[in-house]
Amino acid sequence: MAVQNRFTYRAGELYCEDVPAERIAAEHGTPCYVYSRASLLERYADIRDAFGQWGALVCFSVKCCGNLSVLKLLAEAGSGFDVVSGGEICRALRAGADPQKIVFAGVGKTGEEIEYALREGILMLNVESRPELEAINVVATRLGARAAVAIRLNPDVDARTHAKTTTGKGGTKFGIGIRTAERLALDARSWDGVEVRGIHLHLGSPIYSAEPYESALTKALELVERLREAGCPVDTLNLGGGYCISYTGEEVTTPQQYAAALRTSLEKSACPVIIIEPGRYIAGNGAVLLTRMIYRKESEFGKRFLICDAAMNDLIRPTLYEAFHRVWPVRSAEGMPQVVRPDQSSFEGLVTERVDVVGPVCETGDYLARNRPLPRVEAGELLAVFDVGAYGFAMGSNYNARPRAAEVLVDGAECRLIRRRETCGDMIGPEEEWLI
Ligand SMILES: Cc1ncc(COP(=O)(O)O)c(C=O)c1O
């Protein structure tokens, strides 16, 4: 299945698949996350097929977009799930996930979460420290179970991501160094409640080249070989997530290119079970955030602000990671330029003005875009923030007592609400009953 852009301008108006964005905003209000069903499914199939020669199990990373309907769509397409909490296990199961396709990562699994995971019969727990493996062993032994675990390695490889999203370098809290991991796996051979079946890697996100994966995999395979020789039944290699997407409209490394770069190592590994945990690749380009401009503010200090009804509580990536998202008016005679880069100062043949796109939250860090060339937009008009399907709504909050946005799913010419906009009651409900 070819991967297509499902957000396009037709006759000067933004569409998601066959539905005009204006219509969605009129029906569901703003701010509103708009997902394309076709985009989600195409991306899932694309990365599954790229690693298909090894029969890889795709475990969609729930943390990037946990909406139940999105998870259900992917579960029905055959996807497994990468989870990092009991709450994410609950979401995945509620969406119809096969427990035998769920892998559980994270550095701080509680005893309760471990028990929940084991009782639900998930495929594998990815272990990040000796005390955690000991805790799993205690819980599993009590339940009369033997937990299949993978050891998450910290291979000390720099994936050249933002410092806050790099996880495979020594010094971060993630994974276990190779020598320590080897000692742990050897010791665990005699523990009744656990069986070390796999090696897990996740280096950071997004990773724009295959090279960090290759370096980490080379180190991991040396360990796999030594563990097998020592009698550990390691049959699973989990390569994690981090596969990049384009935020500018330019070409980036494709799943096929990652898979080609890893082919030799994967074939040498002779591991019958390969797992990948893409989140961003599947969901990132699959949604836009629609927001309505409330005011134009021109300051005497030479700044021009487009004050919109979406804010950092709806999309925190720009201020948290200095992440770049294209922003463009929903009505635009010429459509959006093919490529919009962070350093773009103008577009040939387009009249633009320099603006900051900001929200109503009381923080200077509340912005969606800064110093951007945009065609003139008036109060009341709609803007779209692109490529927000991953770590968009999922990282949203109620900061400033702002209800979280609505989420809708478009399928061809149809559009369905998949999460209603929160109300004031949703926000104060858990406190009302306990009011002193
Ligand atoms: C263990 C693990 N796997 C997979 C992912 C998904 O990463 P991405 O969305 O970049 O594919 C993450 C993201 O943080 C992660 O921590």
Each residue's pLDDT tens digit, 76-97: 999 999 999 999 999 999 999 9
Contact 215, 179 (CB under 8 A): no
Find the 60 Cα to ligand 1 centroid distance in Å: 9
Q: What residues does 130 pair with on adjacent strands?
A: none
Average pLDDT value for residue range 359-371: 97
Q: Where are the domains of the chain?
A: 7-35+284-431, 105-278
Q: What is the DSSP code (8-state) at residue 291?
A: E
Question: Is 59 in the active site?
Answer: no
ω into residue 206 within 30 of 0, thus cis? yes
List, as one string, the DSSP characters of 144-173.
Answer: T--EEEEEEB---------GGGB-SSTTSS
Binding site membership of 255 for ligand 1 (Cβ less than 6 Å)? no
> Residue 242 Cα, ligand 1 centroid: separation in angstroms?
6
Which one-letter DSSP state was computed for residue 204? B
**Summary mean pLDDT of the chain:** 96
70 Cα: distance to centroid of ligand 1 (angstroms): 17
What pLDDT band is residue 1 in, cutting at 50, 70 and 90? low
Q: Domain 7-35+284-431: which CATH class?
A: mainly beta
Average pLDDT of span 380-388: 98
Rounded average pLDDT over 382-401: 98
Interatomic CA distance for residues 23 and 32, integer angstroms = 12
Say which CATH superfamily domain 105-278 falls into: Alanine racemase (3.20.20.10)
Given this chain, do its domains 7-35+284-431 and 105-278 carry the same CATH topology?
no
Q: Distance of CA 373 to CAs 300, 316, 349, Å? A: 19, 21, 13
Q: Is 242 in the pocket of ligand 1 (CB under 6 A)?
A: yes
Q: What is the pLDDT of residues 59-72, one digit of tens each?
A: 999 999 999 999 99
Least confident of 172-176, 180-184, 279-283, 394-398: 172-176
Q: Is the CB of 202 within 6 Å of ligand 1?
A: yes
Closest ligand 1 atom to 165 CA: 14
Phi and psi, residue 155, nearest 5°: -80, 0
* Average pLDDT of the segment spanning 375-392: 98
* Short-list 47, 29, 39, 28, CA closest to 253: 47
pLDDT at residue 56 in the model: 97
Helix (H, G, I), strand (E, B) or coil at 264: helix
- Going from the Cα of 158 to the center of ligand 1, the distance in angstroms, rounded, reads 15
Q: In the 3-class helix/strand/coil scheme, how is 211-252 assigned residue by residue?
A: HHHHHHHHHHHHHHHHHHHCCCCCCEEECCCCECCCCCCCCC
For residue 104, the one-letter residue type is F
Compute the residue count for the chain.
436
Joined tokens for residue 179: 């020598």
409: β partners: 35, 416
What tens digit of pLDDT does each residue of 172-201 get?
Answer: 898 999 999 999 999 999 999 999 999 999
| CA-based nearest residue to 312, from 422, 396, 423, 424 | 396
Structure tokens that stand for 185 in this block: 């796996």
Protein residue closest via CA to atom 4 of ligand 1:
241
Q: How far is the CA of 83 from the centre of ligand 1 (A)?
A: 9
Q: Is the CB of 200 under 6 A from ligand 1?
A: no
Residue nearest to atom 5 of ligand 1 (CA): 241
Atom number of ligand 1 nearest to Cα 167: 16
Specify the amino acid at residue 243: Y
What is d(CA 433, CA 131) in angstroms, rounded to the nearest whole number?
A: 39
pLDDT higher than threshold 70 for residue 18: yes
Pocket of ligand 1 contains residue 159 by CB under 6 Å: no
Q: What is the pLDDT of residue 169?
A: 80
Query: Would you say the CB of residue 240 lies under 6 angstroms from ligand 1?
Result: yes
Distance from residue 292's CA to the centre of ligand 1 (Å): 31
Say if residue 312's pLDDT is above 70: yes
State whether the beta carbon of 82 lies less than 6 angstroms from ligand 1.
yes
Write out the two tokens for 130: 């000796």
Pick from 82, 213, 276 the residue to mutate for probing ligand 1's pocket: most ligand atoms within 8 Å of its CB: 82
What φ, ψ does residue 397 adopt, rounded to 5°?
-145, 180
CA 293/CA 369 separation, integer angstroms: 13
Kindly state if the Cβ of 161 falls inside 6 Å of ligand 1.
no
What are the structure tokens assigned to 30, written together?
């703003």
Amino acid at 127: V
Which is catalytic among the residues 244, 271, 362, 415? 362
Are 255 and 281 in contact, with CB atoms under 8 Å apart? yes
